[in-house]
Copies of this chain bind each other. A is one copy, B any other.
């Protein structure tokens, strides 16, 4: 049975992992391994260990960086590390970050976090089991958590 790793943080203000796990269970029968760390900069090594020590086939890395400039820098460092971890393992680590300043109030931010986590969890399932679905959606302006942007006007679009 395939294994999906879920790496998340105590810094985040929403339990994105729960949203991701619920969505995964709707779409696939897999083992789930969860690994919680303090903040986003701890995610890269957690994700790598989920792959190498816990034998996960793919990882979803969930985080909620703050709104201050230093938080943006932390998120950038974490993202760079997550990409490096993927290159070192040849496995996907789907980064799902929700920035605290992406929404004006807490309720909207919570809904965004829920939706983005769920939609990226589905992306992880597709990468693992149904990659051809992603290819059918290539170039169609998919967005996670927000309404899709859609394909460009005048861009053709019939595959």
Which residues of chain A have a CB within 8 Å of any CB of chain B? 8-18, 34-38, 41-42, 44-46, 48-49, 52-53, 64, 70, 72-74, 76-88, 90-95, 99, 106-107, 109-110, 113, 120, 123, 127, 131, 134-135, 137-144, 149-157, 159
Contacts and interface: CB of A to CB of B under 8 A. Distances in A.
A127 B11 CA distance: 15
Contacts of A80: 77, 80-81, 83
A92 B48 contact: no
A152 B109 contact: yes
A155 B44 contact: no
A15 B155 contact: yes
B81 A38 contact: no
